[in-house]
Amino acid sequence: MNQPLKIGTFQPSKRILLGPGPSDVHQRVLDAMARPTLGHLDPEFGNMMEELKTLLRYAFQTENQLTFALSAPGSIGMESCFVNLVEPGDKAIVCSNGVFGRRMAENVKRSRGELVMLEDAWGSAVDSQKLEDALKAHPDTKVVAFVHAETSTGVESDAKLLTEIAHRYDALVICDAVTSLACIPLLVDEWEIDAVYSGSQKGLSCTPGLSPVSFSERAVAKIKQRGHSVQSWFMDLNLVMGYWDEAKSGGKRTYHHTAPINALYGLHESLVMLVEEGLESRWARHRRNHLGLVAGLDALGLKLPVAERARLPQLNSVMVPEGISEPQVRADMLAKHGIEIGAGLGDLAGKIFRIGLMGTSSSQENVLTCLAALGSVLATQGWKARSGAAIEAANKVFAV
Ligand SMILES: Cc1ncc(COP(=O)(O)O)c(C=O)c1O
């Protein structure tokens, strides 16, 4: 190469992240990540890993020994659950009501399991009766999987009830909690969920790239007793346990892969912040800010496609009104106001916006800023309702 490359330090703009994730990362988390890198087998780092596991047990509300963070985003949590818990030929029911349910089905197929697919309408919760009927028809089902908080639509499904039904038929449960952890109640032990995975970048407001997971004793027993070895070396939890599980490694962690040290400092800090706030207060904050946003959207004349009882406070789907250009609204929100909101995915592409209020991003200030910006952006496309009314409506909710 003759010419020197003219590429300097990357300086990202300051945004307000109100999409489906990532959410805004708190400065405390960014500061934690800037601390000196330790070796991944350094005893000091090992102590931090033990703390991290304790903190994650709090977040998941579990005593599960095998609770830790996988070194990759939420998708690896999903994939690890399937490759470890679904053996070739195992029957697995996937209850799907959106993009991420469909991905679970793909994971069953790739694990060479026998897929029984249950589809519910996008925008509705998973139908528990359908699951019960499917289990009656397929009593040899080994695994039932569902998404607790379907990010593609903004819908909550009843994880407790679905787990209860699956257990009546002796099936293990895989629950996707990528968008639910630290936003809405998720009680892993009380609901007896067997395998649960999440992501670092939503309710926890850490940087993307880590996947907290937790496995019940029953799930661990299944993994240990598999007849076939897990086809993925990296995701084989029997091997990963030697690094993360002190009991399994006899107090001597062994090298599996080089852990993302500084990212784990960040996750540790985000969990310390969760403990400081308290899970219940965190859930209440998400609900309150959601109600403020909904009141404002209503005053703007915008409609929500999800029935009130199934709405996720952390992910708000909003119908794109007739005559409004959806991509233009998102582009203007970003360019003129520095606010990222999400587009619809899959079947809902072009039909909805998705406004996330997750973790650090879930604040009264962000609700008001978003409503003001949205009102002004819609006005440029001829929409009549104005931001003033929306802000007033949201403030009424916040004043109570
Ligand atoms: C419900 C759900 N599951 C899985 C994933 C995949 O997570 P990641 O993008 O971190 O790999 C996402 C990401 O948005 C999600 O919302």
- Tens of pLDDT along 318-371? 999 999 999 999 999 999 999 999 999 988 999 999 999 999 999 999 999 999
Token readout for 218 is 């029953």
Give, using CA atoms, the residue closest to atom 16 of ligand 1: 151
Token output for 110? 């790739």
Counting atoms of ligand 1 from 1, which one is nearest the CA of 199? 10
- Write the residue with the smallest CA distance to atom 9 of ligand 1: 74
Ligand 1 mean position to 178 CA, how many Å? 6
Locate 339 and state its tokens: 């606010």
| Relative orientation angle of helices 279-299 and 387-399, to the nearest 10 degrees | 150
Cβ(390)–Cβ(297) below 8 Å: yes
Give the number of the atom of ligand 1 that is nearest the alpha carbon of residue 209: 10
Cα dihedral 166/170/171/174 (nearest 10): 70
| Cα(82) to centroid(ligand 1), Å | 15
Q: Which residue has the tokens 């007739």?
A: 322
Model-level pTM? 0.97
Measured in Å, residue 142 CA sits from the centre of ligand 1 at: 24
Ligand 1 atom nearest to CA at 98: 1
The 10s digit of each residue's pLDDT in 74-83 is 999 999 999 9
From its phi and psi, is residue 41 left (phi > 0), alpha (psi between -120 and 50) or beta? alpha
Quick one: what percent of the chain has pLDDT higher than 90? 94
**How far, in Å, is the centroid of ligand 1 from the Cα of 359?**
15
- Mean pLDDT across the chain: 96
**Cα–Cα nearest to 347, from 102, 142, 135, 149:** 102
Span 292-319, average pLDDT: 98
What's the average model confidence in pLDDT over 74-97? Answer: 98
Bridge pairing between strands 339-343 and 16-18: parallel
Using an 8 Å Cβ cutoff, are 172 and 163 in contact?
Answer: no
Give the model's confidence band at 19: pLDDT under 50 very low, under 70 low, under 90 confident, else very high. Answer: very high
pLDDT confidence of residue 249: 67
Query: What residues line ligand 1, using a CB cutoff of 6 Å?
Result: 20-21, 73-75, 78, 100, 147, 151, 176, 178-179, 199, 208
Distance (Å, whole) CA 346 – CA 257: 35
